[in-house]
């Protein structure tokens, strides 16, 4: 079977400094978590896969989606990226709902009326209260967690085969985060989406994902089944596990 995503010897550099170093992995229609140190290169890995690196970065290596080398026109329907700073990746001059409706019209061939109704439903699906009201807001008028959820709704709108989500629930309270994760989970089980979930929350990754990649200094230092996370061998992974803060610790 062809892999949904195949990453081969992927490196990202800023001038002389390599921040992603020769990363290799493949994934199917599953949930793969990426954890690791702040600055380890997780976001740059996600952005490199989607060809969305910032200016000044150069990249080498190969990325294939469904066996086909990545091209920018795969963004949207084939693969989508929820960036770590969502409020800065939404269009600041356009109503949040209209941005989602536009994606829906483009990819699902809906009429303007249908797209609006569907956009409101999508906002509701990420547990936004008063979705019709929030539809009319501009990105700067959303709370941190609402911006994050609007971005998720927008990226899911074209039903991508692969979703790369960079800290998609970091601004959400546990109850809403649970709802959003259930929605993502449903996309995986119902229509076979694959998700690459970048998160610093080990407990979340261990529960939500099938497999986990641990990154440090631009490299994947350990790859293991999520259920084996507690038995991780690499000293850095053990250090992360030991540092977890828990309510009843």
Ligand X SMILES: Nc1ncnc2c1ncn2[C@@H]1O[C@H](COP(=O)(O)OP(=O)(O)OP(=O)(O)O)[C@@H](O)[C@H]1O
Binding site for Mg ion (CB under 5 A): 43, 84, 143-144
Nearer to Mg ion, 11 or 43 (CB): 43
Least distance to other proteins, CB of residue 82, Å? 13
Residue 25 vs 101, nearer CB to Mg ion: 25
Whole-angstrom CA distances from 61 to 2, 3, 10, 25, 216 are: 19, 17, 4, 12, 19
Q: How many helices (H) and strands (E) does the chain have?
A: 8, 10
Q: Which does 230 bind (CB under 5 to 8 A by kind): Mg ion, ligand X, other proteins, none?
A: other proteins
Indicate the SS3 state at residue 227: helix
User: What tokens appear for 26 in the block?
Assistant: 């493949």
Q: What binding mask, one character per residue, do residues 63-102 give for other proteins by CB under 8 A, x or -?
A: ---------------------xx-xx--------------
DSSP-derived letter for residue 54 is P
Q: Tell me which residues in 71-90 interact with ligand X (CB under 6 A).
A: 84
Closest distance to Mg ion from the beta carbon of 208 (Å) = 18
Task: Find the helix packing angle between 144-156 and 112-125, rounded to 10°.
Answer: 130
Residue closest to ligand X, measured at CB: 145
- Using the rule CB under 6 A, is 39 a contact of ligand X? yes
- Exposure string (b/e) for 124-136, b if CB count within 10 Å is 16 or more? ebbbbeebeebbe
Q: Which does 178 bind (CB under 5 to 8 A by kind): other proteins, Mg ion, ligand X, none?
A: other proteins
């Amino acid at each position: 079977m062809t892999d949904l995503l195949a990453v081969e010897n992927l490196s990202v550099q800023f001038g002389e400094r390599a921040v992603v170093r020769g990363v290799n992995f493949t994934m199917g229609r599953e949930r793969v978590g990426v954890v690791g140190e702040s600055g380890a290169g997780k976001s740059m890995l996600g952005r490199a896969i989607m060809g969305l690196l910032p200016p000044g970065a150069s990249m080498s290596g190969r990325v294939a989606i469904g066996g086909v080398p990545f091209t920018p026109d795969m963004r949207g329907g084939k693969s989508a990226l929820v960036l770590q700073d969502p409020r800065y990746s939404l269009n600041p001059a356009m109503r949040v709902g209209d941005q989602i409706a536009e994606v829906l019209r483009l990819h699902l061939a809906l009429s303007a009326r249908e797209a609006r109704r569907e956009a409101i439903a999508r906002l509701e699906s990420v547990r936004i209260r008063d979705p019709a009201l929030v539809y009319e807001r501009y990105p700067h008028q959303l709370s941190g967690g609402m911006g994050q959820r609007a971005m998720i709704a927008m990226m899911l709108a074209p039903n991508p085969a692969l979703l790369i989500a960079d800290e998609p629930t970091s601004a959400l309270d546990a109850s809403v985060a649970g709802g959003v994760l259930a929605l993502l989970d449903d996309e995986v089980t119902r229509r076979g989406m694959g998700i690459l979930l970048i998160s610093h929350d080990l407990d979340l990754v261990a529960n939500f994902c099938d497999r986990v990649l641990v990154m440090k200094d631009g490299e994947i230092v350990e790859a293991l089944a999520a259920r084996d996370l507690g038995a991780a061998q690499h000293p850095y992974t053990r250090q992360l596990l030991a540092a977890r803060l828990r309510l009843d610790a």
